[in-house]
Amino acid sequence: MHNLKNAYPEKLKIGAAIKTGGCFFDSLAQGLNELNIKPGHRFTAKSLREDCADYARANRKPDQWVYNAVIRDAGEYFVPQKDPDGGVISENGLNKQDKTKSFFKYLEYITNTHTADAPIWGRPHIEGRMICDKYEFDIIYYYF
């Protein structure tokens, strides 16, 4: 731990975050609370997930970065496109994506933390960017 602290800026605070798929949101909430970004408001992993859903909902046009990033990085919320008979449409051996349904499934899954399905893990380039845009700050993250 000593070596880790010596390798990064003096102001860096090393803390602990929940492990159940919400560590990104939890650590971000802790940082926002410490910085007092929104006086009188207590950030939580759940509130930041809801902020992401609200932000995505408000920016859901196909020409906006949010829509494209969510669709491009669809994993557990990917919905295959189906033909009129209900068969999955494939292209070059891969299932074709129903972009609209995948996007709306994302809106459901991003706030879904109380079911058997694993919640969507926060991604700095998608959910992180949404939160930064909403609260007007920058994230600096370290990989180690």
The pLDDT assigned to 76 comes to: 87
Total domains in the chain come to 1
The answer for residues whose C-beta is within 8 angstroms of residue 103's C-beta and 6 or more apart is 56, 60, 67, 70, 71
Containing structural domain, residue 44: 19-135
Distance of CA 3 to the CA centre of its chain: 30
Model pTM score: 0.85
Residue 14 lies in a domain: no
44 burial type by CB count under 10 A (0-12 exposed, 13-18 middle, 19+ buried): middle
Q: Which amino acid type is present at position 29?
A: A
Establish if 117 belongs to a structural domain: yes
Q: Answer yes or no: is 115 within a domain.
A: yes
> Does residue 70 lie in a domain region?
yes
> Mean pLDDT, 10 residues at a time, over the chain (144 residues)?
67 72 89 92 95 97 96 93 93 92 94 72 95 92 68
The residue behind tokens 């910085």 is 35
